[in-house]
Amino acid sequence: MTISTDALTVGYHGTAIVQSVKLTVPHGKITALLGPNGCGKSTLLKAFANILKPMSGDVYWENQPLQELSAKHLSTQLALLPQTQPIPEGIKVKDLVAYGRSPHTGFWGNLSTTDLAIVQSMMVQTNVDELADKLVSELSGGQRQRVWLAMILAQETPYLLLDEPTTYMDINHQVELMHTLRALNNQGKTVVTVLHDINQAARYCDHLIVMKAGVLICQGTPSEVLTTEMLQAVFDLKAQVHKDPVSGTPMCIVED
Amino acid sequence: MITPSRFFLFSTLLLVFLALTSLSFGAVSLSFLDVINGFFEDSEHYFTIHEYRLPRTLLAIVVGAMMALSGALVQGVIRNPLASPDVLGVSHGAGLAAVLYMTFLPDASTNWLPEVALVGGLLAAIVLWLLCGTSSSAIKLAITGVAMAALYGSAIDFVLLVKPLEVNNALLWLTGSLWGRGWPQLTSLLPWLLLIPLGLGLAKHLNLIDLGDDSAVCLGTKPNIIRLISLATAVGLTASCVAICGPIGFLGLIAPHLTRRLIGGRHQVLLPATLFVGALLLVIADLVARTINPPIELPAGLMTAIIGAPYFLWLLFSLR
Ligand SMILES: Nc1ncnc2c1ncn2[C@@H]1O[C@H](COP(=O)(O)OP(=O)(O)O)[C@@H](O)[C@H]1O
Ligand SMILES: [Mg+2]
């Protein structure tokens, strides 16, 4: 059970953004997608989720091209937290989280007691259960981000694709989120997440994938990937790499 | 926001009350007892109640409900509070087609009016789509739609000027009136009621479309197909009503918007609830239009426009 791509080229309106990417997402791990703004991280995630169709090459889920799988089946395997989310009008937090059960409910979307229990426990897990009866439109950005996370967790998929899940969150909630991701990983979920903070990625993730201008540059464990050469080549950054005194993982410190 | 059960209880009671009121008032006012007796053939009020006020009241309920659902479907997929069949020009497109049909084929059967109006409404929707594309801003869509509606309106005026057939009748029809509508019109609307369950059946998918297309896809729905079915259903609902009552302005805009404020945006509740709100609004509008200055009857469409136009402007200005 895994996502892989072969010679994947994908983009918008005939313009290729991600080019000839070949990779396999390591199963059972937390993988971070890194790269400068506009390098195609979101585009790659959307291709993983079958939102964008490949211009050439393929994305595979369990060695089957995504196009051959039904949307319904895929929605029980992969869940995506998009980078930006519209704000639905007049929807309560608990209703939004319940929308995550859609792949499992019937025609009218009725929730069984099991569904309701799952919705409740996901709200607890992301710490939004106290907001359950509030309108989504009345929340702060960080709160909304956690509500959406609860929504895709309610989908109960083995794979999670997260596009910048820490945006809008204060540092405390960012750390909490990384712990939540680890807890989910320990429950057996595979996580692929776009992160902005390289040190956060190195500290909390098992595997890093680095992209630049739509091309895959390198991938591996944080200590394999996080080098001064890589930072220079990809981010155009003069930085030193040191050992994090607390976790022992590599961290970069900008020189100038 | 109020709870759905309270909403449905309250609106059912209100609807029954208003329907009875609507049966009592008009050119002559009848007592409650007269109204009840009027359902039976031996009553002196049988004609007034059974042949005249009852079908008209029922028609107001059905048309109001259909137009409101139509608006809710459009607002649901376009994610835009300004969108509604009349604002987008669909109603006037349907109206223009109907006028052309009546003018140039005076001998043709009026039974086909709903289908003709449907073609006009669909064409208007397609024209708007060609002009704006799928990802237009709320304002652009609304302004283009209003402009197209004005254009179709002028075309209607032009046709009526050059071919002044039964201008009076047509004019009355075009202002959106329930005057003189009875059992035949109500019967001809019946098959189109099937569009109501079809629209309600989209509830789950419309919820997901609210979350954005990317999320909707990941939750297992197909946004483009849902959008197509929704809009086609909405055009069908509007066109069949327009064929009978003319374009009753702003109902499809106000009713779903008001409903959303009352009971929230979950479509499993919003769609059924908007049927009630639409029915209530049109029954009230028709009642006021009939009783404000009897025996003169104003068109119900005039009433909805008096409330609707300021509401629309307020919405337009409150959009950031
Ligand atoms: N919907 C879109 N239509 C056209 N171009 C887009 C669209 N979304 C993103 N792009 C372009 O694709 C490139 C990569 O975008 P994206 O994948 O969002 O980058 P990242 O997530 O790495 O910051 C950018 O140059 C952006 O302008
Ligand atoms: Mg991005």
Q: What is the pLDDT of residues A34-46, one digit of tens each?
A: 999 999 999 999 9
pLDDT band at B101 (very low <50, low <70, confident <90, very high): confident
Cβ–Cβ < 8 Å for B90, B249: no
Count the Cβ atoms, other than its own, within 10 Å of residue B209: 24
Which residues of chain A have a CB within 8 Å of the CB of B208? 99, 102
For residue A108, the model assigns a pLDDT of: 92
Q: What is the pLDDT of residues A137-167, one digit of tens each?
A: 999 999 999 999 999 999 999 999 999 999 8
Best probe residue, ligand 1, of A39, A43, A234 (max atoms within 8 Å of C-beta): A43
Instruction: Give the start-to-end residue ranges of the domains of chain A.
Output: 3-254
Closest-CA residue to B50 (of B177, B173, B176, B186): B186
Ligand 1 touching residue A63 (CB < 6 A): no
Q: Which residues pair with A215 in a beta bridge?
A: A212
List the domain range (segments joined by +) for residue B259: 4-318
B168: pLDDT strictly greater than 60: no
A203: pLDDT strictly greater than 90: yes
Please name the residue whose Cα sits nearest to atom 20 of ligand 1. Answer: A38
For residue B63, the model assigns a pLDDT of: 94
Span B30-39, average pLDDT:
84
Which residues of chain B have a CB within 8 Å of the CB of A80? 214-215, 218
Ligand 1 touching residue A100 (CB < 6 A): no
B177: pLDDT strictly greater than 80: no
Q: Which residues contact A25 (CB under 8 A, 6 or more apart)?
A: A2, A3, A4, A31, A48, A159, A190, A192
Helix (H) or strand (E) holding A194, with range, is strand A190-194
> Percentage of chain A with pLDDT > 70?
100
Q: What is the pLDDT of residues A205-243, one digit of tens each?
A: 999 999 999 999 999 999 999 999 999 999 999 999 999
**Minimal C-alpha gap between A70 and chain B (Å):** 8
- With CB atoms and an 8 Å threshold, state whether A75 touches B219: yes
Closest-CA residue to A160 (of A185, A127, A142, A125): A185
**DSSP reduced 3-state for A121:** helix
Which chain B residues touch A if contact means CB-CB below 8 Å? 1, 79, 81, 201, 203-204, 207-208, 210-215, 217-222, 260-261, 263-266, 268, 270
- With CB atoms and an 8 Å threshold, state whether B211 touches A88: yes
Q: What is the pLDDT of residues B65-76, one digit of tens each?
A: 999 999 999 998
**DSSP reduced 3-state for B318:** helix
Best probe residue, ligand 1, of A42, A51, A83, A217 (max atoms within 8 Å of C-beta): A42
Please name the residue whose Cα sits nearest to atom 19 of ligand 1. Answer: A38
Count the Cβ atoms, other than its own, within 10 Å of residue A56: 12
Q: Which residues contact A74 (CB under 8 A, 6 or more apart)?
A: A49, A50, A61, A66, B218, B220
Span B251-261, average pLDDT:
91
Q: What is the pLDDT of residues A56-105, one digit of tens each?
A: 999 999 999 999 999 999 999 999 999 999 999 899 999 999 999 999 99
CATH at residue B109: 1.10.3470.10
For residue A86, the model assigns a pLDDT of: 92
Ligand 1 touching residue A12 (CB < 6 A): yes
Closest atom, ligand 1, to C-alpha of A40:
17
Span B7-17, average pLDDT:
96
Ligand 1 touching residue A19 (CB < 6 A): no
Count structural domains, chain B: 1
B112: pLDDT strictly greater than 90: no
Of B207, B218, B263, the CB nearest to A79: B218
Assigned fold of A3-254: Rossmann fold (3.40.50)
Q: Which residues pair with A56 in a beta bridge?
A: A9
Average pLDDT of chain B, as a whole number: 86
Per the model's pLDDT, the better-predicted residue between B295 and B278 turns out to be B278
Of A84, A103, A108, the CB nearest to B220: A103
Closest atom, ligand 1, to C-alpha of A41:
22
Span B256-264, average pLDDT:
93
